[in-house]
Each structure stands twice: as C-alpha cells, then as structure tokens.
Amino acid sequence: LVMLFMAVTSAGSAELIAVSSLITYDVYRTYKNPAATGKQLLKVSRTVIVIFGLGMGVLAGILLGMGLSLGFVYLAMGILIGSAVIPIALTITWSKTTRAGAVAGALVGVMLSLATWTMVAASEANGVVDIASLGGAFPMLYGNVVAILSSGFICIVISLAQNKKYDWAQLNTHMKIVESDMSEQVKAEIAQAAQDEETLKKAFKFSVKGGGILTIICVIVWPLPLFFSGYVFDIGFYGMWVGIAIVWVSVAAFTIICMPIYEARGGFAKVLGGKN
C-alpha cells in the first residue's frame, strides 16, 4: 500500500508540474500575456495545478466506474499518446524536423493506431468491439506499434519533403526567463550555464551512450534469447531473476534519490547557510 501511494503521488506530482508549466509558459505567456511577471506566472501555475488535479480525480473515478483495469489504461495510453513520442523526440534532436511534420505525425499516427486497434479487436472477436476485445494482447500490441512507427515515418517524410533546417541558436533568444525576482548572482549563474555548450555536449553524449546501451540490453540482449529458446523458469532461475530485479530497483532508487541531492549540494549549502 505504501509503494502504491508513493507511486501515485510521484507520478501525479510530475504530471501536475508538467501540465502547469506547459499551460503557464507555452500558452499563457506566449499567447495571452507575453509581459507577465513572476507573480502572475506563479498564480496561473497554481490555478492550473488545482484544476488539473481535480480533473485527474474525476477521470480516475470515471475509469473506475467503467470497470477498466490499470493494465488496460496503461496499454491504451500507448495507443492514444504514443504517436507523439517520435515527433517530439525529433523536434529536439533533429534540426530538419518541421512543424507540419511533427503535427501531422502525431495526429495521423493516433488515427491510424485507433483504427488498427479497433480492427484487430473486431477481427479476433467476430466483429465485436468492446472492452474485453479491445483489451486483448494482440489488439493492444498492434495499436501501440502502429502509433509509434507510423508517426515517426510520417514526421520524417513530411519534414524531408519541406527541406527546412532549424537554427538551434534561436533557442537562446526565443526562450525568455523571468528575472524580476532573481538576485544578481542567480542571473550570472544562468547566463554562464547558457553559454556552457561543452557541458551540454558532454551530457548529450553520455545520455545517448547510456540510453543506447541500456535499450539494447533490456530490449534485445536479455529478452530475445529467452523468447526464442522457449525456456521456462525453474525455481533456481526464477530466484535469480527476482534477485536481479531487487538489485536493479535498489540501485535505481539510490541513484534517483541520492544523485540529485549530491549534485545540488552546493545549492543546499547556500540555502541552509542563509545565502541568496
């Protein structure tokens, strides 16, 4: 129960912060009030958190009333929002990604995934499309795969057809920071960090290498041999599997909890020491 509570609060807080930041900076300040002060942005952010939090509760109640399991909702999320994964990734990693390509990839991808999901479900249930048939393994699998792959293909094709290239230097001039409530030292640190391109390059290389290695291990090296061999776990092997899982979770928990604290030790020292 404690683990469930912690998982829900962690995921919920992350969603609240993400949505409030999106609405506050990308919608309110961009289109409604470009000259918004720090206090105005904070007020909007808090308002969005309350409204979205209540909306999450209402939606959870509706899903519970419909009798949908957490597994169904989790897999359906990939079909509904998976088409945005590759377009978003290309937006921040590929300079030739265009607005039309990203938007078309996401929208057309979700339409194709929904169509695939329902058609496969109907084909497996003699034309019946309901919660039971939609929750089958193959309808969910095909829907998720189509969402991911079709959106990426559409985004790349349209972007290449438009043949445009984005200048990443524009990010330094188009991203505004509210500075009215900042001390001079904080402003200087932000300016220095913005100019430290070498740090960003090192972080990017580390992320690509680490993410690539872990992806290959978790998606190919580890599961595929087990699948093709048809091996059924005995008690000893299953115990080893559980042990590896416990070690993995423990190391991940230590890294997630302790590393940010260690990296921010300088900031904590300044705050606890009474410095601005």
> Taking the domains of the chain in order of start, what are their residue ranges?
1-67, 70-169
Res 133: pLDDT = 92
Could you give the angle at which helices 85-93 and 137-162 cross, rounded to 10 degrees? Answer: 30
CB 80 within 8 A of CB 110: yes
Q: State the Cα–Cα distance between residues 273 and 265, nearest whole angstrom.
A: 12
CB 183 within 8 A of CB 271: no
pLDDT tens digits for the chain (276 residues)? Answer: 777 788 888 888 888 999 999 999 989 998 999 888 888 999 999 999 999 999 988 988 998 888 888 889 989 999 999 999 999 999 988 999 999 999 999 999 999 999 999 999 999 999 999 998 999 999 999 999 999 999 999 999 999 999 999 887 777 666 665 555 556 666 666 666 655 667 778 888 898 899 899 899 988 998 888 888 888 888 998 999 899 999 989 998 899 889 989 988 888 888 887 655
Res 184: pLDDT = 65
Whole-prediction pTM value?
0.68
Res 97: pLDDT = 94
CB 114 within 8 A of CB 79: yes
Residues sharing a CB contact under 8 Å with residue 146, sequence separation 6 or more, in sequence order: 109, 112, 113, 116
Q: State the Cα–Cα distance between residues 211 and 219, nearest whole angstrom.
A: 12
Res 241: pLDDT = 87
C-alpha torsion sign, points 266, 272, 274, 276: positive
How far CA 16 is from CA of 53, 60, 141, in Å, comes to 7, 15, 29
C-alpha torsion sign, points 136, 138, 141, 147: negative
Res 267: pLDDT = 83
Amino acid 48 reads V
